A = this chain, B = another copy of it.
Amino acid sequence: MIDFDLLSRSPVFKGITPDHLKAIMQEIHYQVKNFGKNEMVVHSGDECSRLFIVLEGSVKGEMADYTGKTIKIEDIAAPRPLAAAFLFGANNRFPVTVITNEPVRLLCIERSEFLKILQQDSQILTNYLNSISSRAQFLSQRIRFLSFKTIRQKIAHYLLDLAGDRLAVVELPLSQAQLAEFFGVTRPALARALGELDQEGLIQVQRRVIRIQDKGKMNELLKG
């Protein structure tokens, strides 16, 4: 049995009433699969020909590097879909290995069946397009961010983005350690860079609260 109430809150089916969703699902072929704890759902490199949506429990995506060591990428809990961006596209293979954190129920829909849904319901189509489109945009921004060479540049970009047009005083939403990880640098290096910018009078740092003193010079940093 499927909890259509929960499923209708999934990003893919947002805005669809549970009843309507139930009607839609009756028209197509799908499967519900049960997994135990720590079971492997898909293996990295498997062909991605079905859409998976977590109905119950949560799974984690792990990426295996060349040595076999695995790194956890992200957790996905009900009712979110699984690797939605990889259902279509040139190379339909999972980039990650997916393993259950706990007992899990998965909704599996063949790509061709899911296509039927997309053609039938414009709301779901829009949802899905928005979803992978947003992901592409997010990734695009992330690449732009990663292309900044120095820590100073990353800080400048981050702070200016955070401040926007508003006042020049911002409070960091992350701890330095988290921010350092987001920047892809070490925590002491980040603290040092913040300290230097403070000494040079570009910003004023009081733990999490930062005042941008000289927006002009901060912009200058992004030049090179």
Contact = CB atoms under 8 A, between A and B. Distances in A.
Interface of A: 63, 65-67, 69, 85-91, 95, 115, 118-119, 122, 125-126, 129-130, 132-137, 139-144, 146-147, 149, 156-157, 160, 184, 218-220, 222-223
Given A89-B134, A139-B143, A69 B119 contact: no
A89 B133 contact: yes
Report how many copies the assembly holds.
2
Contacts of A125: 115, 118-119, 125
B130 A89 contact: yes
Contacts of A85: 133, 136-137, 140
A190 to B, nearest CB: 15
A87 B126 CA distance: 11
A115 B119 contact: no
